[in-house]
């Protein structure tokens, strides 16, 4: 498997929506390279015949009755929002029109 480098980290940080300084990218790239190296053996541990486990104790078709359960008022839902306006979340521009 490929090693992780500074450019990878910069790209991943962008995907993950985390702004990072140059110094942070350098440090993170070094640390992640060590971690990725140490988990590499995992890819060689199991053959193709081993099924994947996504859930330790899988349950299937977990449904409930189709009735209205507990719901929050708009006020409750907005109570922790950094900004709200007329009962809605208020966000900065979605698109960069500059």
Partner 1 sequence: MTDSTELIRSSAAALADRLAAREVSAVEVTQAHLDRIAAVDGKIHAFLHVNTDEALAVAAEVDAIRAAGGAAAAELHALAGVPIAVKDLIVTVGQPTTAGSKILEGWHSPYDATVVERLRAAKMPILGKTNLDEFAMGSSTEHSAFGPTHNPWDLDRIPGGSGGGSAAAVAAFEAPLALGTDTGGSIRQPGAVTGTVGVKPTYGGVSRYGAIAMASSLDQIGPVSRTVLDSALLHQVIGGHDPRDSTSLPDPLEDLVAAARTGNVDGMKIGIIKELHGEGYQAGVETRFNESLELLKAAGAEIVEVSCPHFKYALGAYYLIMPSEASSNLAKFDGVRYGLRVLPEDGPMTIERVMAATRAAGFGDEVKRRIILGTYALSAGYYDAYYGSAQKVRTLIQRDFAAAFGKADVLISPTAPTTAFKLGEKLNDPLAMYLNDVATIPANMAGIPGLSLPGGLADEDGLPVGIQLLAPARKDARLYRVGAVLESLLEAQWGGPLLDRAPSLVELVETPVVEPVETLVGTKEAK
Residue 77 within binding range of partner 1, rule CB under 8 A:
yes
What is the full DSSP assignment across 80-91? T-S-EETTEE--
CB of 90 to partner 1, least distance (A): 9
- How many CA atoms are closer than 13 Å to the CA of 80, on its beta-carbon side? 2
Binding mask 36-65 for partner 1 (x = CB under 8 A): x-xxxxxx-xx---xxxxxxxx-x--x-x-
| CA distances (Å), origin 66, targets 8, 63, 69, 83, 95 | 45, 9, 9, 33, 38
Residues lying near partner 1 in the complex (CB under 8 A): 1, 4, 8-9, 12-20, 24, 28, 31-32, 34-36, 38-43, 45-46, 50-57, 59, 62, 64, 70, 72, 76-77, 79-83, 89, 91-96, 98
């Amino acid at each position: 498997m490929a090693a992780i480098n500074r450019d990878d980290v910069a790209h991943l940080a962008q995907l993950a929506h985390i702004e990072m300084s140059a110094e942070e990218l350098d440090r993170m790239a070094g640390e992640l390279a060590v971690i990725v190296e140490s988990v590499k053996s995992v890819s060689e541990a199991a053959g193709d015949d081993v099924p994947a486990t996504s859930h330790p104790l899988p349950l299937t078709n977990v449904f409930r009755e189709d009735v209205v359960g507990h719901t929050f008022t708009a006020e409750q839902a907005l109570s922790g929002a950094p900004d709200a306006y007329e009962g809605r979340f208020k966000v900065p521009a979605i698109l960069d029109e500059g």
